[in-house]
Amino acid sequence: MTKNHNYDFEIVLIAAVAQNGVIGRDGDLPWSKPLIGDLKRFTELTKPHPIIMGSNTWESIPKAYRPLPDRLNMVLTSNENYDASGAYVRESLEDALESIDERDPFIGGINYQQVFIIGGARVYAEALPLADRLELTEVKFNIEGDTFFPDYNKDGWKEIARIEKETHDFVTYLRK
């Protein structure tokens, strides 16, 4: 695997993506019903690691569930007065990654050996060139939406795992 960064941890993008690349609609997930097993997989993969998200993704999480438990939550925003109670706020992806890189690999129950990028579209697009791994829920249909996962060259990635479901597959890709 080729690393495209100098951080001491693995950068992982995790997303559910429709065939047409849609990941969101009107500030929320585009699916009318939950994708069976998707939330469970998301939770199992991201605990107890740092997660980085944009402010729109943060706001799409119901307040009762913020911050996501057993994970260091980081929210990216250019608004210096942004209130993300229970999360760390950073101005840029670079700021967030550098602040994580300065920590001990294990501290406070958080495992800093992997960092998960959980959305939204702008954060995915910025992080994709640095990503070591993609954990995708590939939805087997098109859906209407206004937010898209960034295009990526599949030739630069090796599929290492696929779990097939009726409406979606859980797929892991490693950068070649």
Using one digit for the tens of pLDDT, what is the confidence trace for 106-161? 677 888 999 999 999 999 999 999 999 999 999 999 999 999 999 999 999 999 99
Rounded CA-CA distance 40/55 in Å is: 23
CA distance 71 to 52: 10
The residue with tokens 């999360």 is 87
pTM: 0.95
What's the CATH number for 10-175?
3.40.430.10
Amino acid occupying residue 15: A
What was the pLDDT predicted at 104?
67
What digits encode the pLDDT tens for the residues 22-41? 999 999 999 988 899 999 99
SS3 71: coil
Give the pLDDT band of residue 50 (cuts 50, 70, 90): very high
- Beta strand ranges found along 18-113 (DSSP E): 22-24, 51-54, 73-76, 88-90, 106-107, 110-111
